[in-house]
Structure 1
Amino acid sequence: MNSQPFNEPTIVSLRRLELCSRENAHRVANRLFEHKRRPVAVIRTDNPMKPFHVTDEATYGDHVEVELRA
């Protein structure tokens, strides 16, 4: 007996595509930068449901898409 779950393709809504876009991540990074006045970065992830992550923590490496600094 196989105990692996049945893998159905993930259906992604248009709203999720908009919220997960690079443009939206950049918009969020700008707002965070204006609010905190410290470096902010947009990081590319390997997760298709969350392809970009915005952080104000120190970041290094090839996954940094954009970095905002004062």
Structure 2
Amino acid sequence: MSANTAINIFVRTVNRCRKNPFTISAESNNDIRENALNVFSELRKEAEAQESPEMTLDEINAEIKEVRK
């Protein structure tokens, strides 16, 4: 089945049923939170292991101001 055919079938099913034909689910909130905290901890360890930050706080704030303009 081509991607075009699959998309057409999906769109027709949504149109006919008036809902998403697939069940959408996620892990429990506790699992998501635990995974997020683990990833955050790993990223923090990597940042602390660097001898100097890639950007100063002033440089970060300047970039934020530019994006908000």
TM over 0.5: no
The structure with more strand, counted as a fraction of residues:
1
Task: Say which one has the larger Rg.
Answer: 2
The structure showing larger relative contact order (alpha-carbon pairs under 8 Å, at least 6 residues apart) is: 1
TM-score when normalising by structure 1: 0.33
